[in-house]
Amino acid sequence: MSTVDAPERSTPSIPGPAPRILLIQAPYYEGVVSGMRRGAEKLLHEAGCHVEVVDVAGAYELPAALRMALKVAPGWDGFLLHGCVVKGETDHYQFICEAVCQGVMDISSETGVPLGFGLLTVESLDQAEARSADDRHNKGGEAAYALLTQIALARRWGIK
């Protein structure tokens, strides 16, 4: 498998109080998603974040759980979504991936909430494991980095 070298990134500096993050994860592929979570938590803890984790049944439930969290929003500064969909022999993969991505994008553009989106959409479990390994290619860590930069931007612009 050929991979593009991921950039080395330092932990973003977040002004103000420690950010509160809600990580919504779909642990259908437990080993993969827990690897993504470890990659994200490493960066989030370096940034001084407080992280709460909730599970949903599968990737399809991620947008609805995010929408529910926004309704109760007890002071979270941002949201991180993790899941994995592995392509099978039917069209199910395509429908799930498109629905989840569109649902999350709709919520993101409607609300402007700081969001890190870590949904692996892969051909095989080997690809997913490579993207959730404890290295700089970890997509959970990349999604956490994106989230932290969004939180920093929101705070810079005075958005809560």
Q: What are the residue ranges of helices labelled H in the chain?
A: 30-46, 62-72, 92-111, 125-131, 139-156
In angstroms, the CA 51 to CA 38 distance is 12
Task: Check the annotation: does 93 bind a ligand.
Answer: no
Task: Check the annotation: does 29 bind a ligand.
Answer: no
Residue 75 in tokens:
């002071």
Task: Check the annotation: does 59 bind a ligand.
Answer: yes
Candidates 45, 50, 82, 92; catalytic one: 92
In angstroms, the CA 12 to CA 44 distance is 10
CA atoms within 13 A of residue 94's CA, in its CB half-sphere:
3
- Judge whether 92 counts as a catalytic residue: yes
Residue 79 in tokens:
């949201």
Task: Check the annotation: does 84 bind a ligand.
Answer: yes
Task: Check the annotation: does 28 bind a ligand.
Answer: yes
What does DSSP say about strands 78-86 and 20-25: parallel, antiparallel, or unpaired?
Answer: parallel
What element of type H or E holds 20?
strand 20-25
Task: Check the annotation: does 89 bind a ligand.
Answer: yes
Whether 39 and 132 have beta carbons less than 8 Å apart is answered as: yes
Task: Check the annotation: does 131 bind a ligand.
Answer: yes
Q: Which segments are annotated as binding site for (2S)-2-hydroxy-3-oxobutyl phosphate?
A: 89-90, 131
Active site amino acids: 92
Known binding residues are 28, 59-61, 84-86, 89-90, 117, 131
Q: Please report, in range form, the residues annotated as the binding site for 5-amino-6-(D-ribitylamino)uracil.
A: 28, 59-61, 84-86, 117
